[in-house]
Amino acid sequence: MSNQVRVRYAPSPTGHLHIGNARTALFNYLYAKHLGGKVVIRIEDTDEKRNVEGGERSQLNYLNWLGVEWDESPDKGGEYGPYRQMERLDLYKKYVDELLERGLAYKCYMTSEELEAEREAQMARGEAPKYSGAHSNLSQEEIEQFEAEGREPSIRIRVPENKTYKFNDIVRDDITFESSDFGDWVIVKKNGTPTYNFAVAIDDHLMEISHVLRGEEHISNTPKQMMVYEAFGWEPPKFGHMTLILNEERKKLSKRDQHILQFIEQYKNLGYLPEALFNFITLLGWSPEGEEEIFTQEQLIDIFNPERLSTSPAVFDAAKLKWMNNQYIKASDLDRVEGLALPHLIEAGRLSEDMSEEDRKWARELISLYHDQLSYGAEIVELTELFFKQEIDYDEEAMNVLEGEQVPEVLETFKKNLNELDEFTPENIKKQIKAVQKETGHKGKKLFMPIRVATTGQTHGPELPNAIHLLGLETVTVRLDDVLAKLQG
């Protein structure tokens, strides 16, 4: 094995890029880049029943969108390929044959029904179920009999007896397993494809992977992979197992959990920024020194220290992600924010796809109004609702504002002043609000709040003169008339 740091992200092409998988990819990427190493993408596609059309392309597309760069992969190639397991079957066969020849593996002809019966009997006796080794020493006669029956064998590796498997985990320090915890396990299925733990160990060795960072659900796989390394006299890579990601109720994040959006594609489609997600996901189970939480990708590469990987589960805080994305949106230029938000206004039917230059300018000003407030692109639809509806339903807080005794005078004066304007601009509207103050003597909340509520229907919102300008004189006049009619009725 070379001294260069080489890591791998090895997804199955079974669907879209999940938050948990994205974190695995990010941590491997940051670790390798921090130490000047290489990132390998390997596609683990041996479970063909679960593979999804376009699954590989989807994984790579969204990794790329997040900002992860790799050095070797199916699409880039490299000297350690092929990078899809189904294209490496001849390689695996060579090593399987070697184990069979050396007596370190054997063919097992037990049927699924026989294996299940064995498991049930063990559990009935209060034993942990594991393969008994019933076919570990078959005679030639028995083998011929099973083959005459048409039985297809799987191939099992012989697990050494009374051996302790110990490894120093990057995250969890020393972890120990006893070989007696395992029965002889399958390295090649009846259909001839290698199992996960066998193929992974072969691939990691041949691709000279130095460090394996992955989720804690793989801890129990590690001793099996170490058995393969041991059988061939190879040095295993350094392992690190990251803690679980929990939802806000402190339960394991499940793909069936409907409360949290879990796929990178969903966040992209909602108008989140990739660098915000990169930043947020990196902090799920890893912490920098100090209190700062907003980092560029380059900064994260520079400061990434695997010793600061957490030993406690990470909690997915959706509100924090929104806050973080808002920080990135505020720091972005208006062109980029318009690109995030405008498609959602079009999709919602608020704006036409082939809008005029004038309408596009109006839309840009509208998005600009919410630039600092926007948490993600799709949120623009809800935030700007007041600009697209004819009638306003005033809530209790709004009605309390409109019930002030000064309100009719303020609104009548404001309406009169607006209709006398030569040019309906934010600057002139602001001047007219001040003119109302002079004419009526009302100021502060008694002046601004009735105007805001009557024109926008909201007690809080964007810069008032800008909002009134974008609503347009006709809409504002109608709304003022409606409120005055209600108050006088």
- The residues annotated with a catalytic role in the active site are 255
Asked if 91 contacts 202 with a C-beta cutoff of 8 angstroms, the reply is: yes
Whether 107 and 154 have beta carbons less than 8 Å apart is answered as yes
Q: Measured between alpha carbons, how far is residue 352 from residues 244, 357, 387 in Å?
A: 44, 11, 15
Q: CA 343 to CA 73: how far, in whole Å?
A: 33
Which positions ≥6 away from 28 have C-beta within 8 Å? 7, 8, 9, 39, 211, 213
Rounded Cα distance, 466 and 410, in Å: 19
Reduce the DSSP state of residue 295 to 3 states and report it. coil
Among 78, 64, 100, which Cα is nearest to 187's?
100
Gap between the Cα atoms of 465 and 430, Å rounded = 6
The full DSSP string for 17-75 is: -BHHHHHHHHHHHHHHHHTT-EEEE-B----TTT--TTHHHHHHHHHHHHT---SBBTT
Residue 136 gets which letter from DSSP?
T
